Amino acid sequence: MQAIMETLFDAVYLISVITIGILMIRGSKGNRQFWLFGVMAVVLGAGDAFHLVPRAVALCTTGLENYTFALGLGKWITSVTMTVFYVLLYYVWRQRYSVKGQGGLTATVYVLAGLRVLLCMMPQNRWLSADAPLSWGIYRNIPFALLGLLIIVLFFRSAREHKDRAFRWMWLTIVLSFGFYIPVVLWADAVPLIGMLMIPKTCAYVWTVLIGYFAMKRECN
């Protein structure tokens, strides 16, 4: 039952997010903000597919323990693409609120993103083994969490200052995604049931994408 339900959920998620992203790219009508948002959605879905597709195959066949390499490689790739996702979201913020300059802020985003990717590339992560160390899971997520916190603050402040109803909950979607993700990083290995938090985390990302899509439908039409 878990295999069927989880596979169906992941399939709906991946197809929905990638489809919405493509629709945004095609329907942006030269609006760079929504074009970036569409690319961001495609990166999100395509990156997650590297982990979710092997997981679905494993659940529906011989089990997760027999797909350690594929699952580890998928998580590795997804960790990098999620970093790209937040960099793109930063540029969506700049476009939406016509932000100019702020070189120091942009440098901070790139430093945090670069540090995250660098830590993900370190062999100590042992992505492809069955006993990847928790410590490196924490290390590589510190700059990622700081990057997420920065994006949360930027959208929270800007949406309030500009009375932007369309994006007023963008900050909350990111808070929820990290709120559900962090316990999984810390305790899922010890308490497997905590891994179920990845479902509401995924829903939070769908909400993020839908915010951009519905804003595009209103503002580009």
pLDDT at 213 over 90: yes
Cα separation of 151 and 158, whole Å? 11
Distance CA(3)–CA(86), nearest Å, equals 30
Q: What is the pLDDT of residues 174-209, one digit of tens each?
A: 999 999 999 988 888 777 788 888 899 999 999 999
Rg (CA), the chain: 18
Residue 29 has pLDDT above 90, yes or no: no
Which domains, from first to last, does the chain contain? 2-219 (1.20.1070.10)
Q: How far apart are CA 119 and CA 140, in angstroms?
A: 5
Q: Among 66, 56, 79, 63, which residue's Cα sits nearest to residue 9?
A: 56
| pTM score of the predicted model | 0.93
Question: Stretch 63-79: mean pLDDT, rounded?
Answer: 90
Residue 3 has pLDDT above 80, yes or no: no
Res 159: pLDDT: 96
Structural contact between residues 25 and 38, judged by C-beta atoms closer than 8 angstroms: yes
Residue 15 has pLDDT above 80, yes or no: yes
Taken in order 206, 209, 214, 215, the sign of the CA dihedral is positive
170 by Cβ neighbours in 10 Å (0-12 / 13-18 / 19+) ranks as: buried
